[in-house]
Structure 1
Amino acid sequence: MYPMETMGTDAQLLSYAVRELARRTRFPVAFGGLLDGNSVAVTAIIGNRTRSLEGLRVQPQRGLGGRAMTELRPRMTHDYGSSQLITHDYDGFVLGEGLRTLLAIPVIVGGRSRGVLYAGAWAETPVGDLSTAPAVQVAELLASEIRVREEVERRMRTLPTPATAPPALTPVQREELRESYAELRSISAALKDASLRARLASLENRLLSLSGDTESAATQPVTTIHLSPREIDVLACAALGLTNAEIAAELSLREGTVKAYLGTAMTKLGASTRHAAVAGARRRGLLP
């Protein structure tokens, strides 16, 4: 969904999500914000006729968006001004823009609301599945991006940088690095967005560079061994001691498929066991 080269900040990510929301739902106005302290600051607005929505901060349980955040589900109204189901703390903002129809979708990360997206219209507009479904999809994609970014950043903070990495990692550091690598591979395997997978791949390569276990050019085998992404995914999990069933659950594969990938990887590496395959992949710099 997101062109990652433009997604340097949360503000840019949110702005793209709001534009995507308007495009997919065809609502004339879209806006939204992410949690900032105890409230959501609306920082992305498109399609507005006035500046009334600027400066809007939404508290949980207050207004349509606050209710959506609290209930963890979309909320909508065909006539915002007369709705009896919400508080009207933000009438000055919403009615100041002249909005009558309003749809609010919470951005849910880890079971809690981290923001809210809105789609609105100046006239009474039916809001059904045709509008709600794509709006929810945009919110879920935004939540997925936030979740992946935060997990990647958390993992990367625990690892030494190339400039400060010691000549040899301690056993604890090495195990943490290998766990991080396997987790990044499993996250990447579940993503459909090619640009996001490419970003994760660059982080995976950084982990490989930190491992310091690659063979020197003088000892590299003449024949280059190429493992498919899935073969590396399976080996990365096997390196942590997971069983075929556990690897299948982690990567959303069938157990027989995992066994097949392990078999082809072992054949390519000339290994008779999964442990030998992992060791061979590490010697060639294919695993940390």
Structure 2
Amino acid sequence: VRRRVRGVLYGALRSAEPLGDRVLGAAVAAARDVEQALVVRDEGRRLLAAAGPQPPDSGRGAAWEQVREAHAALRALAPRIADPALRGELLAACGLLTTPPRAGGVTLAPRELDVLSWVAAGATNAAVAERLGIGPETVKGYLRAAMRKLGARTRGEAVTAARRAGLLP
């Protein structure tokens, strides 16, 4: 990388076969991909260093993760509360942890938001199903619906899109 050795890529075959241009070309392409990733990472670090010190908690700290987990737990607790007024107050408190949705923005059904908040906390579909008292297939259905509304192709993209839309802390 930039005329400096940064690592060694090792490749092997499990059988005694000659290496052809196709195999060598694929190995060189893989090495170039790694090189480019290292260049991009180095450049990003250089730009961050040039920008100066960052705020101590830019949303990635352990305390912020606790807020996100608390939000997910409160949203999971709300449907089990029989008193509608108390349930409403609890959901309103959950709303204080998120930013108000923009006009014309995406809206998710309450259960879609419940599922997505646990996914954001790192829970698997099985764990979400257990915490919310629903089946794993139901979790998948809610997650697919939320992903479709958010225009996301993966769970991670859905969480990011929901946070940008102000739906999750």
Question: Considering the TM-score relative to the shorter chain, is it more than 0.5?
Answer: yes
Equivalent residue, structure 2, for 1:172: 62
In the alignment, structure 1 segments of 5+ residues that lack a partner are 1-165
CA deviations 1:124-171 (Å, max 9, x no partner) are xxxxxxxxxxxxxxxxxxxxxxxxxxxxxxxxxxxxxxxxxx985561
Q: Distance in 1 between matches of 2:120 and 2:126?
A: 14
In the alignment, structure 2 segments of 5+ residues that lack a partner are 1-55
Equivalent residue, structure 2, for 1:241: 122
Equivalent residue, structure 1, for 2:15: none
Question: Is residue 2:121 matched to residue 1:231?
Answer: no
Question: Is residue 2:70 matched to residue 1:189?
Answer: no
CA deviations 1:2-27 (Å, max 9, x no partner) are xxxxxxxxxxxxxxxxxxxxxxxxxx
- The amino acid of 1:287's aligned partner reads L
- After TM superposition, the structure 1 = structure 2 runs for residues 101-250 of structure 1, keeping only pairs within 5 Å, are 168-169=58-59, 171-209=61-99, 223-250=104-131
Q: More helix per residue: 1 or 2?
A: 2
3-state secondary structure, aligned to 2:97: helix
TM-score normalized with structure 2 length:
0.62
Greater RCO (Cα-Cα under 8 Å, separation 6 or more): 2
Superposition CA RMSD, Å: 2.2
Equivalent residue, structure 2, for 1:272: 153
3-state secondary structure, aligned to 1:177: helix
Q: Distance in 2 between matches of 1:244 and 1:274?
A: 11
Closer/same/farther in 2, CA of residues 270 and 229 from structure 1, 3 Å limit? same
Shift of 1:278: 0.6
Q: More strand per residue: 1 or 2?
A: 1
Equivalent residue, structure 2, for 1:10: none
* Identical columns (%): 42
Q: Distance in 2 between matches of 1:170 and 1:269?
A: 22
- The number of residues matched between the two structures is 114
3-state secondary structure, aligned to 2:98: helix
Residues 190 and 251, structure 1, Cα contact 8 Å, conserved in 2:
no
Q: Distance in 1 between matches of 2:135 and 2:60?
A: 35
Aligned with residue 284 of structure 1, among 148, 151, 165: 165
TM-score normalized with structure 1 length:
0.37
- The amino acid of 2:92's aligned partner reads S
